[in-house]
Amino acid sequence: PKPDTGDSDIINLKLDSGYNVGLEPEKVELVEKKESEGLKRPEVTHSEDKPDVLILHTGGTIASRVSYKEGGVKPAFEPEDLVQMYPELDEEVNIHSEVIAQMLSEDMEPGHWQEIGEKIDEVQGEYDGIIVGHGTDTMSYTGAALTLMLQGLDTGVMLVGSQRSSDRPSSDASMNVYCASKFLTETEFSGIGICMHETSSDNWCNILPAAKARKMHTSRRNAFSQINAEKIGRINYKSGEIQKNFEKEDEEYELRPELDDNVGMLRIRPGMRPEEVDFLIEQDYNGVVIEGTGLGHMPVNAFDDKTQHHDRILEKLSELAEDTVVVMSSQCLNGRVDMNVYSAGIKIQEAGVISARDMHPELAYVKLMWSLGQASDREEAERIFQENYSSEISKRSMYSG
């Protein structure tokens, strides 16, 4: 606290001795005014002995830093800025950077997925690895889209996010970026992955298949988990130990960025009405993903006076499926849709609804956009959707429990 000098206009200075001295401003003679030099940006030097890693910045906290001059968080996308944020990264790789966008991931549109995919296509082969800095909220959507657009990609691409901003002591940004870079440059991994904390501690990072990963917690640093799939690998931040769980596959690469974003979603729950399906019909969607209950169900059976409207839901569903590709996924996330077990599922299939198999709803949503974008008609879109292109559909259901 300011010492009580009896005069609020007095300027108090703390001396090296620990004592305070008070000065009257009008009696102070300005001898020299020195400008603050601020923080010097480190010099970036590239070496032929180090691998080259490109960081593509799209937004989020992963590549932002606090600007005390401007009073907020600002993007740090020059190599010098990134070296300042992640000095240990500069010791091991040559950092290159480029900005695609600067936005919160919840504001991303399918067109941004295409822009990211086309940029990766443009530079793939020029770098030993590519890191896409991305907000965590919709990272799984982008990961699914890139997986489908860039099938057979020979370069390793890692989507990396941060749950805590870089100004916080608990930030996970530096560790996630470092682990992603190390995995990309020290393994033969190719394709699209997601690198995030495995636990809330700073020990291991998970490398997850981007199409099968999902954000499962609002704020924990280990927010991401794989759904109906195995990890690609893991890496120990402190020791550098790398554990791999993948085999390098030689596939023919082809960029396939076309999407049809005229796709809607419907979440099933008790109390829904036929008018909700009517709304989907009125919107003239080319595709609709239903988030069903359990094995892929929705209320289509009339048992009593309280459920009489369920018959109309089924009628409207059949009407919707006449001109629209309708897909059934499950709110359960884990497990596989199977509409052959109960009579409700059989009715839903007879109405024209197809199965998302073991694709979680977000993945099914992106896969349907991509399928419609690749197809010339509805029948072809349904066929494409049900085929496995890049391990987005598992050959068998994973059991854990």
**CA angle, 271 as apex, 266 and 274 as ends, to 5°?**
60
Q: Which residues fall within 8 angstroms of residue 151, CB to CB, at 6 or more apart?
A: 251, 253, 254, 256, 389, 390
CB atoms near residue 133 (< 10 Å): 30
pLDDT at 88: 82
Query: Which of these, 156, 162, 166, 94, lies nearest to 134 by C-alpha position?
Result: 162
184-232 tens-digit pLDDT: 999 999 999 999 999 999 899 999 999 999 999 999 999 999 999 999 9
Q: Tell me which residues are annotated as active site.
A: 61, 136-137, 215
Tokens 């195995």 appear where? Answer: 230
pLDDT at 6: 56
pLDDT at 9: 75
Q: Which helix (H) or strand (E) holds 371?
A: helix 361-374
pLDDT at 401: 40
Cα–Cα dist 318/288, whole Å: 13
Per-residue pLDDT for the chain (401 aa), expressed as one digit of tens each? 455 555 667 887 777 776 777 888 777 776 676 665 555 666 677 899 999 999 999 987 765 665 555 555 555 556 566 667 777 888 899 999 898 988 889 999 999 999 999 999 999 999 999 999 999 999 999 999 999 999 999 999 999 998 876 666 667 888 999 999 999 999 999 999 999 999 999 899 999 999 999 999 999 999 999 999 999 999 999 999 999 999 888 889 999 999 999 999 999 999 999 999 999 999 999 999 999 999 999 999 999 999 999 999 999 999 999 999 999 999 999 999 999 999 999 999 999 999 999 999 999 999 999 999 999 999 999 999 999 999 999 987 766 54
Q: Hey, what amino acid is at 368?
A: L
Same fold, 52-244 and 263-386: yes
Is residue 374 within 8 Å of 258, Cβ to Cβ? Answer: yes
**CA angle, 118 as apex, 216 and 285 as ends, to 5°?**
65
Instruction: Return the CATH fold of 263-386.
Output: Rossmann fold (3.40.50)
For 52-244, CATH number out of 3.40.50.1170, 3.30.70.1560, 1.10.1740.10, 3.20.20.150 equals 3.40.50.1170
Cα–Cα dist 315/320, whole Å: 9
Q: Which residues of 285-295 are buried (b: 16+ CB within 10 A; e: fewer)?
A: bbbbbbbbbbb
Q: Which residue ranges make up each domain of the chain? A: 52-244, 263-386
Cα–Cα dist 171/202, whole Å: 10
Q: Which residues of 255-280 are buried (b: 16+ CB within 10 A; e: fewer)?
A: bebebbbebbbbebeeebebeebeeb
Q: Where are the alpha helices (DSSP H) in 187-342?
A: 274-282, 310-323
Task: Please tell me the total number of residues recorded for the chain in this structure.
Answer: 401
Token pair recorded at residue 298: 């929705």
